[in-house]
């Protein structure tokens, strides 16, 4: 059996796709795997924010096109980049066990956020990260930082930034987690919906590939990230809105904890809610996670999240009209 995997060409995307290939080869003896590399619009345009050129979906849609044209059997994405609605004819064939979902602060010496000097320049392209960190340290300068992980680390080493913020999962998958860094607690920065998880797409009518992918699917991780995506849908949020949503199993998977956060684009307002429940029947984890996520989303809406999200969408539209506009 031969399998073609559609993937972006970045070092992280290739590392993720090669990991998926290795896992599938463990399940299927003699499986041949070929990577079909795609350079997306999001990869080509690096000098403006993602919101200004269409959002994270730019990293996904062109890879999906390869799958839909029959030029690959599956596609590997970072799940946080995958829109709530998949292209017609595609589905999430597997969500492997989730990596560390936290954000991390990377510096030359592994400094914590409180160690940074006032006025220090911190690089990130995430409005969600900027707004949450600013609530802890509003005396720092937060600057846009695009590019792949290697590019961002080079800019840090060159002294362009005092610190940069990245996803822990990406550093782990690139075997870079041993460098000086400070994992940012979820209490300070609620991760993006789906952060740390991989999404493996397949065509709905490809039964053979779907059967193979089912062996790689990690049901607890799927339950958590699908609940996070449902949370985002209830809020009416998208890749342009500063929203954090994180579900996790704690106490040996006996409890489910969900954290939700929504901020205003100007950083003046935010709402946060959480819920912690017992997992009485592991077989019903998926439904339980969905119910909890929707409850947290409803609580945030009652606390004013809808207005903050609409404000963010208006700002995103304005930025599309003027890509150099700063938020």
Dist. CA 141–CA 130, nearest whole Å: 10
Same domain (yes/no): 58, 6: yes
Q: Is residue 192 domain-resident? A: no
Q: What's residue 31's pLDDT?
A: 96
Q: Is residue 128 domain-resident? A: yes
Q: What's residue 49's pLDDT?
A: 52
Dist. CA 258–CA 246, nearest whole Å: 6
Q: For residue 79, is pLDDT > 80?
A: yes
pLDDT, the chain, mean: 92
- Which of 18-32, 37-51, 135-149 shows the lowest mean pLDDT across its residues? 37-51
CATH number assigned to the domain comprising residue 146: 3.40.190.10
- Which of 52-56, 61-65, 76-80, 279-283 shows the lowest mean pLDDT across its residues? 52-56
Same domain (yes/no): 232, 90: no
Q: List the catalytic residues.
A: 81
Same domain (yes/no): 53, 136: no
Render 144-196 in DSSP notation, one character per residue.
Answer: ---S-HHHHHHHHHTTS-SEEEEEHHHHHHTT-TTSSEEEPPTTT-PPPTTTT
Q: For residue 138, is pLDDT > 80?
A: yes
Count of domains forming the chain: 3
Read off the tokens for 154. Answer: 């080079």
Same domain (yes/no): 228, 136: no
State which residues form the domain around 25.
1-95+197-217
Q: What's residue 137's pLDDT?
A: 97
Same domain (yes/no): 3, 85: yes
pLDDT bucket at 46, cuts 50 / 70 / 90: low
Dist. CA 222–CA 249, nearest whole Å: 12
CATH number assigned to the domain comprising residue 234: 3.30.160.40
Same domain (yes/no): 144, 280: no
Dist. CA 209–CA 201, nearest whole Å: 10
Same domain (yes/no): 211, 91: yes
Same domain (yes/no): 203, 293: no
pLDDT bucket at 51, cuts 50 / 70 / 90: low
């Amino acid at each position: 059996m031969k399998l073609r995997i559609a993937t972006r060409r970045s070092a992280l995307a290739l590392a993720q796709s090669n990991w998926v290939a290795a896992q599938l080869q463990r399940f299927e003896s003699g499986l041949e795997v070929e990577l079909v590399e795609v350079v997306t619009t999001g990869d080509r345009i690096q000098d403006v924010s993602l919101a200004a050129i269409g959002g994270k979906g730019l990293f996904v849609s062109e890879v999906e096109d390869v799958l839909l044209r029959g030029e690959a059997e599956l596609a590997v994405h970072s799940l946080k980049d995958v829109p709530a609605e998949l292209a017609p004819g595609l589905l999430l064939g597997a969500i492997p066990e989730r990596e560390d979902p936290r954000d991390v602060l990377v510096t030359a010496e592994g400094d914590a956020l409180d160690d940074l000097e006032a006025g220090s320049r911190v690089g990130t392209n995430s409005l969600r990260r900027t707004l949450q960190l600013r609530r802890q340290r509003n005396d720092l300068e937060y600057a846009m930082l695009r590019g792949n992980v290697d590019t961002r680390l080079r800019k840090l080493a060159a002294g362009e930034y005092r610190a940069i913020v990245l996803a822990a999962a990406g550093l782990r998958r690139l075997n870079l987690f041993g460098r000086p860094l400070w994992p940012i607690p979820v209490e300070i920065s609620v991760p993006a919906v789906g952060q740390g998880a991989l999404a493996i797409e397949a065509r709905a009518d490809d039964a053979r590939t779907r059967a193979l992918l089912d062996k790689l699917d990690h049901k607890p991780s799927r339950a958590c990230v699908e609940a996070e995506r449902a949370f985002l849908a209830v809020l009416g949020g998208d890749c342009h809105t500063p929203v954090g949503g994180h579900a996790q199993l704690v106490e040996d998977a006996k409890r489910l904890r969900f954290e939700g956060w929504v901020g205003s684009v100007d950083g003046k307002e935010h709402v946060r809610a959480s819920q912690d429940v017992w997992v009485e029947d592991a077989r019903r984890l998926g439904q339980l996670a969905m119910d909890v996520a929707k409850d947290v989303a409803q609580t945030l809406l009652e606390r004013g999240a809808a207005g903050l999200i609409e404000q963010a969408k208006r700002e995103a539209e304005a930025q599309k009209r003027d890509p150099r506009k700063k938020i």
